[in-house]
């Protein structure tokens, strides 16, 4: 009587099923972790740019005309897009300003934000394209997602 060692087809299918279940749980958890770390990185970058802008305002008396003036023009958000900066100096009207749910501008001197994972944005925070944006609001009192504001 010979005895074969190895896995039967049933044992092999059972092992593959367990591996598939573990992968089905692990992949979404990992993706969520990656997105949270990207959001945290964008929040930190916006905080850094905000501090640079505040130093510029202390020295010059007004916000910089662009991010190049503070050495942040080449900074990219974690999704590969440039950070968006809008100085209100010389701005006519409030159309381009970021706005809350009541369509009131959320900052008084400038807007600074990342367009988030989808790379699209419009001024109102409540718009679908803007909900995932990482924004600076309340003149630096809030830095986070537009949906969380």
* pLDDT tens for each residue of the chain, 149 residues long: 556 677 788 889 999 999 999 999 999 999 999 999 999 999 999 999 999 999 999 999 999 999 999 999 999 999 999 999 999 988 888 888 999 988 899 999 999 999 999 999 998 999 999 999 999 999 999 999 999 99
CATH number at residue 84: 3.30.700
Count of domains observed in the chain: 1
List the domain range (segments joined by +) for residue 31. Answer: 9-145
Q: What is the DSSP string of 49-73?
A: HHHHHHHHHHHHSS--SSGGGGT-T
| Residue 99 lies inside a defined structural domain of this protein | yes
- Which pTM does this prediction carry? 0.82
Q: Report how far Cα 56 is from the mean position of its chain's Cα atoms.
A: 24
Given a contact cutoff of 8 angstroms between Cβ atoms, the answer to whether 146 and 130 are in contact is yes
The conformation of residue 81, written as its DSSP 8-state character, comes to P
């Amino acid at each position: 009587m010979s005895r074969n060692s190895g896995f039967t087809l049933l044992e092999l299918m059972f092992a593959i099923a367990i591996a598939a279940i573990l992968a089905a749980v692990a992949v979404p958890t990992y993706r969520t972790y990656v997105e949270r770390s990207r959001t945290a990185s964008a929040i930190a970058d916006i905080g850094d740019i905000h501090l640079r802008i505040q130093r510029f305002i202390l020295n010059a008396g007004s916000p910089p005309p662009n991010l190049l003036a503070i050495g942040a023009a080449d900074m990219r958000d974690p999704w590969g897009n440039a950070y968006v900066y809008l100085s209100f100096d010389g701005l006519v009207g409030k159309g381009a300003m970021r706005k809350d749910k009541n369509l009131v501008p959320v900052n008084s001197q400038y807007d600074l934000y990342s367009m988030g994972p989808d790379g699209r944005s419009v001024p109102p925070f409540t718009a679908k394209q803007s909900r995932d944006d990482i924004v600076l609001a309340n003149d630096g009192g809030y830095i986070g997602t537009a949906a969380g504001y």
